[in-house]
A and B are shown apart, each in its own frame.
Chain A
């Protein structure tokens, strides 16, 4: 039975209509993305551009194989590299006994539902959802890695922070820290977000939020250390593996930043570095504002979810730059394959037009600084100057287009979103294929 116009505008019906419309938009965007991804892969395979279809064996490459081993053997040796991996995905894998393809499908669902939750909570438009779903590094959410679980539970935490639902924050923090070793990045980010919002609620409530949040993180890390201690007797195996096996020691970076993932990932790592630099500047500005004003006005600070995302990106960049000696590998994976990237995009997209123009200047300026740090046009390894100019121009263009996916930013935001989405889907397929060929990406 169809409802009349007056019935549809009834105060009881209207919110339900809004909910239905919103959920339909999100569902359609996710379904369209899934279909287009499969179609793009199938067409490229049919034309012979792609030589392989996903199989269990091809998906069990790099860390995926280590996650699988961990699900079978547990933490069997104190010196083994698998101590660096956190146990949530291996536990699910162990108890469900799924194939690598099934785990990949489960991961894809987690990632896409995560984007759906962000879209719901942050009111993303249809095109913005597609852009968020297609971030190239989210291909890590389509393989048997822990990124998908991390994405999903971090999303729950971010939604909780944004909507001030502390229960969601605690669940998200605990499970995200069981998925990946993110506690060292989460603690400062969480403190930063909570402290800047300290004066908005009663002191006791703020203090309780901070203590319970930190406890959730520490419980997860403590659980992993206990599991490792019970398995092989070394509770600090995780830290030792990072130090001894991978040489992650604090040191100054080389003069020229590079990526051991190669130049087809370096520009994505550099993109993540730009985001982190801008987050660092923003954190400094907001921190000074917080120190100066004891009772800041409403709207002085962005959502706690944005503050947390900024803190996370700054932490990730600090770790990469000062522990890997100038090798940026992992930067794109930490930042662009995370819900924090989506939240920061939302923050940019919702800025008024004059602020967006300023942001454009800051992004281009930071981008040029990052290019100089990578050797500039003349020192870019294995590129002659002309080739480097093309590479860096396309890189800056790609970064800038992300800002345009908002009606506040440009009149051609629809075209920008569509173009960006198509490029991203092709990139995602490309990275997925490289991964299956066993080529080191990140």
Chain B
């Protein structure tokens, strides 16, 4: 192979690679379809729920405190239609972790007639590297191609293994396309 041909081949490969990286899931402006904080919970009942805390919060005064005894933290469900029929969503939350020895994840599943058709989770240990401060975590999901309006998208925080106290605030879902 001549030098110029080799150079052209290298340039083509480089362009192809960069193109692939930049276009993997090219998207338009994100549209926020769910945002849940915990500031409106306080005062609704005679007693606040045990998980509600005002020791620290990402926004406002109140946040969700996942206790050592809990396997599951805050969760919400929306039908696909309520999320504005997205193909790709970004699910995220602000979390406050005491240290890096936690086994907790932000998980999402999609249910159709009680049957799970999609599941994915993101361990906080993989993405949070600063502790005792509020950190943003988020993950992008390609939903199944055959989603139906009644399919339920469930988002929740799950703790397994060794349990530790952590806090969570401002969970959100964004429609990317």
Residues of A near any B CB (own CB < 8 A): 258-264, 266, 358, 361, 364-365, 368-369, 371-372, 375-379, 381-382, 392, 434, 437-440
Closest to A380 in B: B140
**Chain B residues, CB < 8 A from A264:** 129
B110-127: contact bitstring with A at CB < 8 Å (1 yes, 0 no)?
000000000000110111
Bound-state Cα–Cα, A260 to B125, Å: 8
With A361-B10, A361-B13, A434-B100 known as contacts, the answer to whether A377 contacts B21 (CB < 8 A) is yes
Question: Which of B10, B18, B137 is packed against the most chain A CB atoms within 10 Å?
Answer: B10
B2-42: contact bitstring with A at CB < 8 Å (1 yes, 0 no)?
00001000100110011011101111000000000000000
Closest to A440 in B: B125
B99 interface residue (CB < 8 Å to A): yes
Bound-state Cα–Cα, A366 to B142, Å: 25
Minimum Cβ distance to chain B for residue A378 (Å): 4
B136 interface residue (CB < 8 Å to A): yes
B101 interface residue (CB < 8 Å to A): yes
Partner of A381 from the list B10, B27, B122 (CB cut-off 8 Å) is B122
**Chain B residues, CB < 8 A from A358:** 6
Minimum Cβ distance to chain A for residue B176 (Å): 9
**Chain B residues, CB < 8 A from A375:** 24, 140
CB-based contact A262/B125 at 8 Å: yes
Minimum Cβ distance to chain A for residue B29 (Å): 13
CB-based contact A261/B14 at 8 Å: no
Bound-state Cα–Cα, A258 to B121, Å: 12
CB-based contact A376/B123 at 8 Å: no
CB-based contact A382/B139 at 8 Å: yes
Task: Give me the 9 closest cross-chain CB pairs, A-B, nearest first.
Answer: A368-B17, A376-B24, A439-B100, A382-B127, A378-B25, A262-B126, A361-B10, A376-B21, A365-B13
**Chain B residues, CB < 8 A from A365:** 13-14, 17
**Chain A residues, CB < 8 A from B139:** 381-382
CB-based contact B125/A372 at 8 Å: no
Closest to B120 in A: A254
Minimum Cβ distance to chain B for residue A50 (Å): 15
**Chain A residues, CB < 8 A from B14:** 361, 364-365, 368
Question: Which of B92, B123, B136, B140 is packed against the most chain A CB atoms within 10 Å?
Answer: B140
Sort chain B's interface into a size bin.
20 to 34
Partner of A368 from the list B20, B27, B92, B123 (CB cut-off 8 Å) is B20
Contacts A260-B123, A263-B127, A438-B101 known; 20 new A-B pairs at CB < 8 A: A258-B126, A261-B126, A262-B125, A263-B126, A372-B21, A375-B140, A376-B24, A377-B21, A377-B24, A378-B140, A381-B127, A381-B139, A382-B122, A382-B126, A382-B137, A382-B138, A434-B100, A437-B100, A438-B99, A440-B100
**Chain B residues, CB < 8 A from A372:** 17, 20-21, 24
**Chain A residues, CB < 8 A from B122:** 381-382
Bound-state Cα–Cα, A52 to B20, Å: 44
Partner of A377 from the list B10, B22, B127, B136 (CB cut-off 8 Å) is B22
Bound-state Cα–Cα, A138 to B18, Å: 32
Bound-state Cα–Cα, A263 to B129, Å: 9
Minimum Cβ distance to chain A for residue B99 (Å): 7
Minimum Cβ distance to chain B for residue A434 (Å): 7
**Chain A residues, CB < 8 A from B125:** 260, 262, 439-440
CB-based contact B21/A262 at 8 Å: no
Closest to B3 in A: A354
CB-based contact A376/B25 at 8 Å: yes
CB-based contact B20/A440 at 8 Å: no
A to B CB contacts below 8 Å, 19 in the list: A260-B123, A263-B127, A365-B13, A365-B14, A375-B24, A376-B20, A376-B25, A377-B21, A378-B27, A379-B25, A381-B122, A381-B138, A381-B139, A382-B137, A438-B99, A438-B101, A439-B101, A440-B100, A440-B101
Question: Which of B26, B127, B138 is packed against the most chain A CB atoms within 10 Å?
Answer: B127
B126-145: contact bitstring with A at CB < 8 Å (1 yes, 0 no)?
11010000001111100000
CB-based contact A392/B127 at 8 Å: no
CB-based contact B129/A382 at 8 Å: no
Minimum Cβ distance to chain A for residue B8 (Å): 12
CB-based contact A368/B126 at 8 Å: no
Partner of A437 from the list B21, B26, B99 (CB cut-off 8 Å) is B99
**Chain B residues, CB < 8 A from A439:** 99-101, 125
Bound-state Cα–Cα, A206 to B79, Å: 67
CB-based contact A379/B140 at 8 Å: yes
**Chain A residues, CB < 8 A from B137:** 382
Closest to B140 in A: A379
Bound-state Cα–Cα, A41 to B139, Å: 35
Bound-state Cα–Cα, A99 to B92, Å: 44
**Chain A residues, CB < 8 A from B26:** 378
With A438-B100, A440-B100, A440-B101 known as contacts, the answer to whether A379 contacts B24 (CB < 8 A) is yes
Minimum Cβ distance to chain B for residue A247 (Å): 13
B63-102: contact bitstring with A at CB < 8 Å (1 yes, 0 no)?
0000000000000000000000000000010000001110
Question: Which of B17, B123, B137 is packed against the most chain A CB atoms within 10 Å?
Answer: B17
**Chain B residues, CB < 8 A from A258:** 126
Closest to B138 in A: A382
CB-based contact A381/B17 at 8 Å: no
